Every structure is written in structure tokens, then in C-alpha cells.
Structure 1
Amino acid sequence: MGAGIAAAGLSAVNWEKMLQIAASWIISPVLGGIIAAGFLWFIKVKIIYRDNKITAAKTWVPVLVGIMGGVFTSYLVLKGFKTLIKLNFSTALSVGFVAGVAIWLVMIPIVRGQAKGLENRNKSLKKLFSIPLIASAALLSFAHGANDVANAVGPLAAIVQATKSGDYGSAVTIPLWVMVIGAAGISFGLFLFGPKLIRVVGSQITKLNPMRAYCVALSAAVTVIVASWLGLPVSSTHIAVGAVFGVPKLIRVVGSQITKLNPMRAYCVALSAAVTVIVASWLGLPVSSTHIAVGAVFGVGFFREWDAVRRARRQRSEIVAPLAMPKEERRRRKLVRRSHVMTILAAWIITVPAAALLSAAIFWIIQLSMR
């Protein structure tokens, strides 16, 4: 946008499309947070709060993995394999349903085998959520690649198209080597900064366990994939935020400083983020996969706060008349670090104007050097 304005003025920008992209900054974290909180609530009600947690987990963990597999299969049938075979929406959903049922049946004996000898307590559930967490993280990685790589190589593909044919139309044929560059770039970035970012997302935003991480990944993936399917703009926010605030700073904040994550919470985060990314990409909603993932972590953290306050009030009411919760206790129960939330929100607000100014400055420098 900055280079376009510098070269041809304000009329060079499609402001309607920019408004759609700006809408993604709100839609993405809100949608990711809501879906992540919903997944976490479902898991708590159906598994955590049950008297026999292990028995409940043996019933519901395969179901959750089956849902994730079914959604992913439907997306692949509609988008990934569309050049080989074209199916309508209802048929794709049917194929996804069959795949989900098959995955559910496969997971039943696996989960039951893992559950043998486990004690009936929350810590034992971590083992049962390990496979779903890995699967949801892989699904979220696919969703990120499907959208963020496209955003990164889009300008390059347009330049190649214009250079070869002089055509600046909306339909751009993307050469294979351009996609290879995008895939190699995101893989190299993951190799350099992935481990640190994983630690940040896993512990500094909110405390995640496998269950919570699963919810985050699945919700984010579904949202982004549905958005891609509808063709709505999805922004690769992590690149801009990393450029503005610095990757090390972002890594520390996102992974551990916002709220504490344990394996179960991380499971919810991963699952919800993955599902959200996939559904959004599928429907083409204007979402950001990074915003969804961060929003999913927020959702898990804020849900933990609400649930902790609710349970504390219930326990207090069983002993004495309900009283207002002391200020110190309310502060102690704030499981989402507000300072890091504000930092991330500021990064999202600054990203576009900062990138636009930098792009315009680079354009002017190049233009002056060519005179």
C-alpha cells in the first residue's frame, strides 16, 4: 500500500479491500478467542469436571480428533484436490464426515491403550492429549502455510506476471518456482525462530496444557482455512509485527508472558486455532492466522479467569453468604497478563502504517537512485 501510494497516489489503493483487511484485525482474535474458549468449556464440562475423568476422556478425546480430521479432509477435498477432482460442497462434507468417523474409530483403541493404569486426576490427562495436540499443531501449520505463504508470494507473483505479459489483471498464474520460494522462506523462518516462538506462545501469554493448546490450534486452523475458501483477505500479521517490534520481543511475549500454558491448555489453543483457521479459509473470511492463534490463547486465559471466579464464588456460597470477592483475590485470579495484551494490540494497530511508511520510503529511495 505504501509503495502504491508513493507511486500513483491514493487512488492506487483499493480502499474497500483495505477495509476488509482491517476488519480481519478484529474478526481474527475475537473469533479465535471465542472458539478456543468454547472448546475449553466443552472439554472441562465433558472431561475435567467429571468424577471419572479417565473414562470421560476415553469417550471424548477420539471424538475431538475425529472432528478435526473431518474438517481437514473436507477442506482438502474442496481446495487441495480441486485440480484432480471437483466435488460440490455437500459431497465434500460427506467425505469429511466419513473420514472423521474413520479417524474416531481408529483413535478409540489408541486412547484406551494410553489410558490403562492412569490415575483419575487432571495431570494424567496430559498423556491422552499428546496425540491430538501433535495432530492439531500439524493442522495449524498447514493452515498457516496455505494462507501466509500466499500472502508473502502474492506481490512477487504479480510482478512476474506483469513482467512477462504486461497484464495487471486480477487473475495471476503463479509459477511453481514462486511457490517454492514461499515455502522455503516460511520453512527457513521456522527453523530460525520457531523454537523460541513456541516457548513464548506456550507459557507467556497464558498457561497452556495439551488440552488448551489443542483448542487454540484447532480453532485457528478452521477459521483461516474457511476464510481462504471464501477468498477473503487473510493477513500474515506475524511478519509485520516481528518487523516492527522485533522477533525476540514477540517470542518472549506471545509464548509465556500473556498467560501460563500447560499441555492441556496448549491442546485447546492448538485445536481451536487450527479449526478456526481452516473454517475461515474455507469460507474466505477476512482473518489473520496469527491473530487467531493469539486470540485463541487470550480466549483460553480469559475463560480460565471466569471459570476460576465462578468456582470460587460457588465454594464460598456453600459455606457462608455470598460476599464480594476481595480486590487482592480478583487481581490474583487474573490469569491473562494485561500488559502484554496491550503490547500486542498496539503492535497490530501500528503494523500497517509502519509497513506502509517503510514501503513508501524504500520506493522513493529506489526512484531517486535511478535518476
Structure 2
Amino acid sequence: MSSPLTFSTILSTSPSFGTTLPPAADAIAVFQNAFLWALVVGFVLAFLLGFGMGANDVANAFGTSVGSNVLTMRNAFILATIMETLGAVLVGFNVTDAMRKEVLKTDLYADHPSHLLLGQLAILGGGSVWLLTATFLRLPVSTTHSIVGAILGFTVVMNGLDGISWKKIAEIAFSWVLSPALSGFVSAFLYMIVDFAVLRRRNPVKCGLRALPVFYFFCIAFNTFAVVYNGSKLLGLSKMSLLAALSISVGLGACAALLFHFVLRPRILSWIYSSEDDRCNGRNNKRHFTFSLPETNPPGVGFMVFSAQGPPRRRANIANVQHNPGYCRVFTACFAGFAHGANDVSNSIAPLVALLSVWTNGSVEQREQTPIWLLLFGVFAICSGLWLLGHRVIETVGQKMSHVNPCSGFTIEFGAAVTALTASKLGLPISTTHCLVGSVVAVGSIKSGEGVDWHIFASIATSWLVTLPVSAAVSAGLMYIMKTLVL
């Protein structure tokens, strides 16, 4: 076996004369030529990882919208493409930096940057193999778990247990437990508010439309603050003060609330009352019905969906009809897609960003920020997987685990999105899958004692448990092969 190709070896053998490049630059060129194949393979594996993530994780984010018949599969995919892109570009850099710099001890590879470079290939390979396998099995697993497991596998092969930053791993593991619990709490709390303030009223539609401006205000203000405060240096947002960020966020949120109240609300009310005879003509006595009138929607409102459902068990003084405008559900679906792009897209390309940085500089320092074009590459791979295979997992989260109507779907996505976006700003690579499933279980349990298919949940929980060790094993195997054949 040949001696390992290290950066110091390249420096000692690089010509000092007869070249237009200084010795260090010439050494970098030699290093890049030696591992150009690894860069190419890395982009291919990163695309496969993003493809598997799009078919799995993004499908989770929009599963409840499709399951509640608010969005068609095609419309969900279109919105996902747009919102995932915005979330990744505007907020996603925080999580990317955490995954590639803080989980493992990069200083251990200072004299052997090629080891870290090839380790990223093992990470990408381990994550993509498991994600694609889980997608074909219709299991909504976590990309974050897959990547962290793959990092552990590669590091153990090269440096044993000492190569891992266990403090950071502990923080991430704690966030995996906290995120579904917090997401479920937010969604359940919001559902109880909606149930009391809207669904139990004599005129739930009218009460719901009164409450919607508040939700629009919070969504727009929260998203804006997440983008502008301590934002991307590439977009010139990193130096904005807290007061300026709050002022902009509150201002845009207020504009959105006023726009809905004075422009959209009258049109929606007019459309609802014009359709009242159709809704009351023998159809609202059914246990569950959903109808959509896309051709008669007022301009600018988008399609509307209303759902009526009698609760499985009787409650005192509770209206048996649930009404909720689907337009709000479209809005929360976009919110969820933005939050997912801000967190999970970054996880999928973090190994590729590290690989490219090491290959470009011949160093493990990785001082530069994640370039936007790499985030866009990750979005392209993810959206490709979503369009081609996303329908397989959407059915599991959106339809099989718990019945989701527009009202419960709204609270599920809202709670999951708030949790995921907050974690993104803190640089915590949590699992959006965990957030959504936690919200589905929490809201389903509140709706009725039989609101959750616990057999489906058990299979999902099992897939979560096996994700980390399986991806770690695949990554360790790939790294061992490369260590034997290449290093």
C-alpha cells in the first residue's frame, strides 16, 4: 500500500522554480488533481442524498396538507419547490455551518486533510443509501439522524471515539427528544384555542375569519424576523440590529393582517354565503365531507376547501361541524416548507460543503460561509426527489397515521414550522420529521381517543431508532474500504 498523500508531502515535493504558481498554490493544485475524482463522486452522492431527502422529508412537510385535501399532490410539490428554496437560501446557512464544523473535531485532520475529504464521501454514501431504502419502504425517517449517524461511523473508523465532539452530539440528541414534544405541545395548544374560539361557536366560519388575521400577523412577523435578524452575511443581513429587525417584522406582519382583513376577508365571506345553499342541501348531515370549488373562487383568494366532521365521541356544547378555510392551510403549508428548507436542506449538503472547502483550500479550517449556489444545488436535488418519489411517503404521514382535516392540519403544520424555524436560527439540526409526527400524534390524541393509528406510529418510531446505527454502519464500511484502497 502506498504512503498516504498528505498536504505536507505535497509541499515537500512541489517544485519551487519553473512555475508561475508559488509553492503553496502549486501544492494545492496537486492536491486538487489527486482528489478531483472524490469531488465528482461527492456531488453525485450529495445529489442522491438530496433526492432521498426530497422523497422523504419534504413529503413529510406537506403530507398533512395533501391528507386533508387542501392541496393536490401537484400543487403541494409546486409550493414545496418555491418555499424550500427560500428557506434554504435565507436561513439555512446556520445549520450547515453547525453540521460541518462542530459535530466532529476537524483539527485532528489538520495534517491529513485528505482523510476528512474522503470522510465526507462516506457520510454522503451512508446517508443516501439509508434514505433511499427507507423511501422505498414508505418510512418517514430523518435526514438529520442519517447524517449524524454517518458522521459517527466515519469518525470511529479514522479516530475512534475521541474524534467526536460529544458535547455537540448531546445537544443534538437532546433536541431530537425536545423537538417533537415541543412541536406537539404547540400544535395541541393551538388546536385547543381554535376548538374553543372557532369550532364551538355558533358561526365557526365567521369566528375563524376573525381569528385568521392574528395567525397571518404571527406567521409573517416570525418568518421575517428569522430571516433578517442575524441573517446571512452574503445577503448583507448579519449587522441588522434587534430593534430594526423587530420593527420590520412587526410592520410586515401588520400589513399582512390588514391586507387579509380588509381585502381578502370580504371576498371570502361573499363566496361562502353565495355557496351556503349548496352546503346545506343534504350534504352537511354526513359524518365527513370535503368539497372544493376552484372555478368559483374570488380573484386572488386561491382555492378554498371546507371540511365538516363529527367528532368520534360526543362533547357537551360542541358544534358537530368543523369549518376551516383551506386558504389558511395553504399559507401554513408554505410556512412549513420554508422552515423545512431552513433546517433540513442544510443537513443534506453540509458534507458536500465541507468536501468542497477542503478540496479548494487543502485545509480543514473551513472559514468561508456556505455559498448560495451550493444551497441551490441541494434544493434542486431535493425537489427532484420530491417530484419523482414524494408521493410514497406523503400517504403515510398525511393519511394513514391519523385522520387529518383542514383544521387539525393547520395546527399540525403551524406547530412543526415554529419549532423547526426556531431551531434553525439557533443552529440546531433537528428533525422536521420528528416535529411533524409529534404534532400529528398530539393533535390526533386530543381529537379523540382513537385519533392515532398506533401501529403506523410504532413502525415510524422503529425506523427512527434504526436510522442512526444503519447509516453509521454503512458510512463506516465505506470509510474502511477507502482507507484500505486509497489512503
Do the aligned partners of residues 173 and 97 (structure 1) sit closer, same or farther apart at CA in structure 2, a change above 3 Å counting? closer
Aligned counterpart in structure 2 of residue 3 of structure 1, from 151, 154, 178: 154
Give the deviation of 1:173 after TM superposition.
3.4
- CA–CA separation in structure 1 for the residues paired with 2:425 and 2:373: 23
State the shift of 1:103 in Å: 0.9
Tell me the residue number matched to 1:42: 193
Residue number among 307, 330, 339 corresponding to 1:143 in the alignment: 339
Higher mean displacement: 288-297 or 72-81: 72-81
Residues of 1 paired with 2:403 and 2:367: CA distance? 44
Letter in 2 for 1:210: P
Partner letter of residue 165 of structure 1? N
Structure 1 residues 297 and 225, CA, compared in 2 at 3 Å: closer, same or farther?
same
The Cα of 1:344 is off from its aligned counterpart by: 1.7
Aligned equivalent of 1:358:
474
Amino acid paired to 2:478: I
Q: Within 5 A, what are the aligned runs for 1:276-315?
A: 287-305=430-448
Aligned residue identity for 1:114: I
Q: How does 1:207-226 map to 2 (within 5 A)?
A: 207-226=403-422
Q: Secondary structure at the match of 1:174?
A: coil
Contact conserved, 1:61 with 1:128, CA < 8 A, in 2?
no
Runs of 4 or more, structure 1, over 4 Å off, are 79-82, 119-128
Q: For the structure 1 residues 97 and 143, does the alpha-carbon distance in structure 2 shift closer, same or farther, using more than 3 Å as the test? A: same
Q: Distance in 2 between matches of 1:57 and 1:293?
A: 23
Q: Take 2:367 and 2:439, find their aligned partners in 1: how far apart are those partners?
A: 34
Q: Is 1:84 aligned to 2:236, yes or no?
A: yes
Distance 1:291 1:142, change over 3 A: same
How far apart are the structure 1 equivalents of 2:371 and 2:346? 12
Q: Is the 8 A contact 1:132 1:214 kept in 2?
A: yes
Q: Tell me whether 1:345 sits opposite 2:461 in the alignment.
A: yes
Q: CA deviation at 1:6?
A: 0.6
Displacement of 1:27: 1.0
Kindly provide the CA deviation profile for residues 130-151 of structure 1, in whole angstroms up to 9, marking residues without a partner as x: 1111111112112111211211
Q: Secondary structure at the match of 1:203?
A: helix
Identify if the C-alpha distance between structure 1 residues 299 and 89 changes in structure 2 by more than 3 Å, giving closer, same or farther. Answer: farther
Query: Structure 1's 361 and 92: CA in aligned 2 closer, same or farther, altered over 3 A?
Result: same
Counterpart amino acid of residue 288 in structure 1: S
Q: Residues of 2 paired with 1:347 and 1:98: CA distance?
A: 43
Aligned length, in residue pairs: 291
CA gap of 1:25–1:38, structure 2 versus 1, over 3 A, is same
**Structure 2 equivalent of residue 329 of structure 1:** none
Q: Which residue of 1 aligns with 2:257?
A: 104
Asked whether 1:113 is paired with 2:229, we answer: no
Q: Deviations over 1:235-282 (max 9, x none)?
A: xxxxxxxxxxxxxxxxxxxxxxxxxxxxxxxxxxxxxxxxxxxxxxxx
Two-structure CA RMSD over aligned residues (Å): 2.3
After superposition, where does 1:159-174 map in structure 2 within 5 Å?
159-169=355-365, 171-174=367-370
Q: Match for 1:340: what amino acid? A: I
How do 1:128-139 residues align onto structure 2 when only pairs under 5 Å count? 128-139=324-335
Structure 2: distance between partners of 1:213 and 1:79: 31
Normalising by structure 2, what TM-score?
A: 0.56
The 2-side partners of 1:40 and 1:185 are apart by 35
Distance change in 2, residues 1:69/1:173 (3 Å): closer
Which string of whole-angstrom CA distances, capped at 9 and with x for unpartnered residues, describes residues 190-244 of structure 1?
Answer: 1122233333322112111112111122222221111121222x1xxxxxxxxxx
- State the AA in 2 paired with 1:21: I
- Counterpart for residue 67 of structure 1: 218
Query: Which one has the bigger helix percentage?
Result: 1
The answer to whether structure 1 residue 29 and structure 2 residue 180 are counterparts is: yes
Structure number with greater CO (CA < 8 Å, separation at least 6) is: 2
Question: 1 CA distance for matches of 2:398 and 2:410?
Answer: 11
For 1:171 and 1:226, how far apart are their aligned partners in 2?
25
Structure with greater Cα Rg? 2
1:319 is aligned to none
Task: Sort the Cα spacing of 1:79 and 1:129 in 2 relative to 1 into closer, same or farther, 3 A.
Answer: farther
User: Which piece of structure 1 moves more, 32-41 or 94-103?
Assistant: 94-103
Tell me the TM-score normalized by structure 1: 0.72
Q: Is the 8 A contact 2:324 2:407 kept in 1?
A: no
Q: Is 1:13 matched with 2:209?
A: no
**Displacement, 1:299?**
1.4
Mapped partners of 1:155, 1:230: distance in 2: 20
Query: Residue 62 of structure 1 aligns to a residue in which SS?
Result: helix
Cα separation, 1, equivalents of 2:453 and 2:340: 26
Provide the residue aligned with 2:205 in structure 1.
54
Give the unaligned 5+ runs of structure 1. 235-286, 306-332
Whole-angstrom distance in 2 between the partners of 1:44 and 1:91? 36
**Contact 1:62–1:111 under 8 Å retained in 2:** no
1:166, distance to aligned residue in structure 2 (A) = 2.8
Q: Which letter maps to 1:102?
A: C
Could you report, residue by residue, the CA deviation over 1:149-193 in whole angstroms, capped at 9, with x for unpaired residues?
Answer: 211111111111112223323634334442232111111111122
Contact 2:401 2:454 in 1 (8 A): no
Identical-pair percentage: 28
